[in-house]
Amino acid sequence: MFNLRRKWVMQAAAAALIVFLSLFLSACAKNPVTGEEQLVFMSEPQEITMGANYYPQVIQLNNGTPPEDPQLQAYVSDVGQRLASLSHRPHLPWQFTVVDSSQVNAFALPGGKICITRGLIAKMNSEDELAGVLGHEIGHVTARHAVSAYTRQVLMAGAMLGLAIALSDSDYAPAALAAAGVAGGLMMLSYSRDQERQSDELGYEYMTKAGYNPMGMVKTFELFQKMQKSEPGVVEGMLSSHPLPSERIHAAEQRALASPLSSQPFKTAQFSRSLARQKRLAPAYAQLDKANALARKKQWSQAVVHYKKAIAMFPKESMFYSRLAVAQMKQDQDAMALKNAKQGARLSEDGFYPNLILGMVANANRKYSLAVDAHRKAAAVMPDHVINNFFLAYAYDKTGPRYQAVTYYRKVKSAAPNSQYGQIAAKRLSQLGYN
């Protein structure tokens, strides 16, 4: 019996290896930038589809878009589209969005979907600086850096799958299979130093083709350096995904100084007009940032003061009310929290976080039907968010139908079995007589 099982295992491993090698041999494509053949496990249509599927979720995870500022969105889109039209992949369905985050960051998804934060653009002084950042992110897309990262994960998953099959009659098989699943499911959008350097070069190429002063990119790098010392938490996301060693700054400066465009004035007129609203609202968002810093320290009553100041300065920002509701709930001020959570959700009816927070506050107030409605709206935007699905299950558990509670508890248990939410979901499923 042992020999028969070992023979079957080896045959299965060999079959998996043949399939994997076939995939390997058929997955070479020319890099759009270098023209060289490279191994990729994602076609361009798949790349475009992935970006289109995840882009709305990424925007919502960054608080949506700044309210009532279509001029800023149109301006950033125009600059981005001009650069993208001069890139190696002008045919992609490019999109550029300013997201409502105070963090200093910009990021690209596969297929031409790019975001820049309100926090970053508000610290810039010219269109040339904006073009440098957008050109860099466009470079990540044109060189298919995210696709390369995905391919590395697939290769890792394939290796782990082969190992799992080979060990399938041992005690190590479950761990190997689990590792294969995790590796295959991850696609980390962080880049190597070589990829960052290549994107710098491509950003320089695109921005100078469009007539921008390449010193704009240098100015932005200098901003990051300065903030790394003065406000490390604000720029942490940018520098973790886009490391900035001194040699990158030096290389950018040398490229810029070699260009005749480096002597021309920066483009500031249209930039200043388009950023006028955000500049006026800067004091309100500064109050938000102070409140959030206090909230991270669990100084809830002081945080409330600053959230209310932010609301007084700009009463149409849903995020202010939602954050205030959280701070009030932390102080057991559930009725006041519910009032503000409702207002936050009214100002952003399709927003993920306002509806997540409203649902949580409604649950705390035993308003379970309201909680179901709010969490369902949040789930429509982020269907796989573990925390939202857990609280949706909880609300259904209280109101019915019970099968809906079971459905969402199972989602939570499957997605995050070792988290506190996954463990509570598993326990509740057992109590209800389900696995």
Pick the more confident residue, 222 or 19: 222
CATH number for 328: 1.25.40.10
Q: Residue 169 pLDDT > 50, yes or no?
A: no
E strands along 306-357, which residues? none
Q: Residue 152 pLDDT > 70, yes or no?
A: no
Write down the mean pLDDT value for the chain: 84
Model confidence over 306-363: pLDDT tens digits?
999 999 999 999 999 999 999 999 999 999 999 999 999 999 999 999 999 999 999 9
Count of structural domains within the chain: 2
Do residues 290 and 162 share a domain?
Answer: no
Q: Are 16 and 165 in contact (CB under 8 A)?
A: yes
Cβ-Cβ contacts under 8 Å for 181 (sequence gap 6 or more): 157
Q: Which amino acid is at 406?
A: V
Do residues 270 and 333 share a domain?
Answer: no
Do residues 111 and 146 share a domain?
Answer: yes
Residue 232's CB: how many other CB atoms inside 10 A? 10
Do residues 233 and 348 share a domain?
Answer: no
Domain C-terminal end among 274, 303, 330: 274
- Structure tokens belonging to residue 79: 């600059």
Question: 150 φ, ψ to 5°?
Answer: -60, -45
Model confidence over 48-79: pLDDT tens digits?
988 888 889 889 988 999 999 999 999 999 99
Do residues 186 and 289 share a domain?
Answer: no
Q: Are 40 and 25 in contact (CB under 8 A)?
A: no
User: What average pLDDT does range 15-44 have in this prediction?
Assistant: 59
Do residues 357 and 226 share a domain?
Answer: no
Do residues 290 and 335 share a domain?
Answer: yes
Q: Which amino acid is at 309?
A: K
Q: Which amino acid is at 217?
A: M
Domain C-terminal end among 217, 250, 274: 274
Q: Are 180 and 160 in contact (CB under 8 A)?
A: yes
Do residues 237 and 288 share a domain?
Answer: no
Give me the half-sphere count of Cα atoms (radius 13 Å) on the Cβ side of residue 163. Answer: 17
Do residues 217 and 307 share a domain?
Answer: no
Distance, CA of 377 to CA of 199 (rounded, Å): 38
Do residues 213 and 299 share a domain?
Answer: no
Taking the whole predicted model, whether its pTM rises above 0.85 is answered as no
Do residues 253 and 314 share a domain?
Answer: no
Please give the pLDDT value at position 2: 39
Please give the pLDDT value at position 66: 96
Q: Residue 26 pLDDT > 50, yes or no?
A: no
3-class DSSP assignment, residue 181: helix
User: What average pLDDT does range 383-409 have in this prediction?
Assistant: 95
Domain C-terminal end among 274, 301, 336: 274
- Structure tokens belonging to residue 10: 């080896």
Do residues 321 and 262 share a domain?
Answer: no
Ramachandran sector of residue 107 (left: φ over 0; alpha: ψ -120 to 50; beta: rest): beta
Pick the more confident residue, 148 or 205: 205
Partner residues linked to 30 by β-bridges: 37
Q: Residue 376 pLDDT > 80, yes or no?
A: yes
Domain range enclosing 299: 281-432
The H or E element containing residue 99 is strand 95-99
